[in-house]
Structure 1
Amino acid sequence: MIKIFHLPSCSTCQRIIKELEIQQDVTFQDIKTTPISEADLDKMKASVGSYEAVFSKRAMKYKSMDLKNKNLKELDYKRLILEEYTFLKRPVIFVDNQVFIGNAKSVVAAAKMAIHGA
């Protein structure tokens, strides 16, 4: 099972999806029109160890809400991601029981290997 959480309007997400060269069935979830569920977010957190690791500090709202000057706790990161889709690092790629988060070259390469079984 492959599921990708992304934004169709995000050029980085689209570039990575194309780079993955997926040949089998994949479920795409547009996180703007279909918000991420708490269960999916918890699965992401379990994979990387914290909600902060799934949280995008590059989001424009992060700056506009002056969050860098606030002492955010784990539950704050979770709440913010569930309330505002732009706070989720993307893309997030589920490949069976593995989760790949973000656009780092190493993450994309690992996801591609998991998808293609190489």
Structure 2
Amino acid sequence: MTITMYGIPNCDTIKKAKKWLDAENIGYEFHDYRKQGIDENLVNAFCQALGWENVLNKRGTTYRQLSQEQKDTLNQETVIALLIEQPAMIKRPILLVDNQYHIGFKADQYAAIFA
């Protein structure tokens, strides 16, 4: 089983997800957007699998700082460029388990994925 977690290390949700995986002795690789970067192919894969509306984190500060015009014109094309430029706007964590993407973290959700 190959597991990759995508995100930024100082995110509270990432910390909770890592803690859960560690407690369950589930090995994973961590892909840090800031250190390892992110590209159009990766963001496209996230959006194809999960839907761009789900990938875009509308609760974060970065999103709230966008102009109303930017928010009003968001679509599949414009959002990908924006997420590459501002990876903090990608909802976290995104987990890739055996070529299947999962988004967010809830203990029940992870328990179901790894059951």
Q: Does the alignment reach a TM-score above 0.5?
A: yes
- 2:108 paired residue number: 109
Which one is further off, 21-30 or 2-11? 21-30
Partners of 2:110 and 2:101 in 1: CA distance: 8
Deviation at 1:76, TM superposition (A): 1.0
Partners of 1:109 and 1:46 in 2: CA distance: 24
Answer yes or no: is the 8 Å Cα contact 1:55–1:88 preserved in 2: yes
- 1:44 paired residue number: 46
Scaled by the length of structure 2, what TM-score is found? 0.81
- 2:36 paired residue number: 34
Scaled by the length of structure 1, what TM-score is found? 0.80
Deviation at 1:101, TM superposition (A): 0.9
Opposite residue 45 of structure 2, the aligned amino acid is K
SS of alignment partner, residue 80 of structure 1:
helix
Answer yes or no: is the 8 Å Cα contact 1:6–1:92 preserved in 2: yes
Opposite residue 113 of structure 1, the aligned amino acid is A
- 1:71 paired residue number: 73
> Quick one: percent identity of the two aligned structures?
26
Size of the aligned set, in residue pairs, is 112
Answer yes or no: is the 8 Å Cα contact 2:7–2:32 preserved in 1: yes
Partners of 1:73 and 1:35 in 2: CA distance: 23
RMSD: 2.0
Opposite residue 52 of structure 1, the aligned amino acid is E
Opposite residue 109 of structure 2, the aligned amino acid is A
Answer yes or no: is the 8 Å Cα contact 2:6–2:94 preserved in 1: yes
Q: Cα deviations across residues 16-59 of structure 1 (Å, max 9, x unaligned)? A: 221233534311011122222322222222222x2222111112
Q: Cα deviations across residues 94-116 of structure 1 (Å, max 9, x unaligned)? A: 0002111123x3xx53333333x
SS of alignment partner, residue 33 of structure 1:
helix
Task: Show the 5 A alignment for 1:16-27.
Answer: 16-20=17-21, 21-27=23-29
SS of alignment partner, residue 95 of structure 2:
strand
In structure 2, runs of 5+ residues without a counterpart are: none
Answer yes or no: is the 8 Å Cα contact 1:100–1:111 preserved in 2: no
Partners of 1:69 and 1:43 in 2: CA distance: 22
